[in-house]
Amino acid sequence: MRVKDSAGSLLRLTTPLRVWSQRFAFFLLIIAAIGMIVLNRADTAFLERFRTSVVDTVTPALEAFSQPVDAIGNLGDGIRNVTALLEENERLRAEVAALRRWREEAQALKSQNETFRALLNYVPDAPTRFVSARVIADSGSAFVRSVVVNGGANNGIRKGQAAVNGDGLVGRVADVGERSARLLLITDLNSRIPVLLERTRDRAILAGDNSIKPRLVYLPSHLPIAVGDRVVTSGHGGIFPPGIPVGKVSSVRRSSDGEITGATVKPFVNWNRLELVRVLQHEPSGMVERPPDAQAAEQSQ
């Protein structure tokens, strides 16, 4: 009985304190925060030493706790790396198998091609020589698409020769100086290049229009052309060697009856990264040379 009376008396004494603390807890926290700010302003060095001491005290414990966590993280990374390596290994195995099949087919086609050439007494094209030059100026504008290279007549560059880079056809030589030349790009309004659709073997003319995607003109009306078809030079006219990559068909417009009304090509060349070009000194094989007296008569005129 006395214990119950004592507990009741203690509860009656602590109840006002608990109610008071709950009621004024927010204000106490504000006062404590203001006190810490004042103390920080008053004795910054003391707080810095206290903070450093706390950090030094808990650092060994943090290191001890971090080691298992790091070990688990490294284990997870290792498992992910092994999984990625296995997937890459499978992918590479499939690529190697596909390349082996392509190599066997290429060797068979090469042997067959050599046999047909021997039977037809085929005259191969003369090897193409080239002169490398660096793009030193971009003279392009809203009306002209051309660049200047640091090679000219002294290097064997002649007007009309084709210029390429590692991606594909760049253009042709429009003007030649002694130590420089201007290249007319395939996107220029005055550019006209005989090309060939690699899949269908149909001929067309690639016409520049000063945009980044030149047009295909003189196409057959019902040509089964599709977006993504590769376009290469046809070699007609003897200026450009045949088979130079030009680009891919990017769009095809047709009328209601299926006739082609327009097609554009996205060139392989990245014009923003055009630095080096090769000017091809192409001499078409099988062309009949004029007699020396005819050349002399033309030069005299």
User: Residue 91 and residue 115: Cα distance in Å, rounded?
Assistant: 36
Residue 170 structural domain: 129-281
Q: What is the CATH number of the domain that holds 196?
A: 2.40.10.340
- 5 in a structural domain: no
How far apart are the two ends of the chain, measured CA to CA in Å?
A: 141
Position 3 scores a pLDDT of 42
- 210 in a structural domain: yes
- 119 in a structural domain: no
Q: What does the DSSP 8-state code read for residue 66?
A: H
Position 29 scores a pLDDT of 73
Position 298 scores a pLDDT of 44
User: Residue 214 and residue 271: Cα distance in Å, rounded?
Assistant: 13
Domains identified in the chain, total number: 1
User: Residue 67 and residue 75: Cα distance in Å, rounded?
Assistant: 12
Residues forming beta bridges with residue 264, ordered by sequence position? 215, 251
User: Residue 298 and residue 290: Cα distance in Å, rounded?
Assistant: 11
Instruction: Kindly list the distances between the CA atom of residue 166 and the CA atoms of 127, 134, 270, 284, in Å, as whole numbers in the listed order.
Output: 18, 13, 10, 22
Position 118 scores a pLDDT of 82
Six-digit token string for 114: 């050599």
Position 258 scores a pLDDT of 80
- 64 in a structural domain: no
- 89 in a structural domain: no
One-letter amino acid at 258 equals G
- 263 in a structural domain: yes
- 135 in a structural domain: yes
Q: Is 234:196 a contact under the CB 8 Å cutoff?
A: yes
**Model confidence, pTM:** 0.57
Six-digit token string for 166: 């590692």
- 56 in a structural domain: no
Instruction: Kindly list the distances between the CA atom of residue 4 and the CA atoms of 17, 88, 259, in Å, as whole numbers in the listed order.
Output: 20, 77, 105
Q: Beta-carbon neighbour count of residue 234 at 10 Å?
A: 22
Mean pLDDT by 10 residues, the chain (301 residues): 49 56 67 70 64 70 67 73 87 91 88 83 74 83 81 90 93 91 92 92 91 90 88 86 92 86 92 91 54 46 43
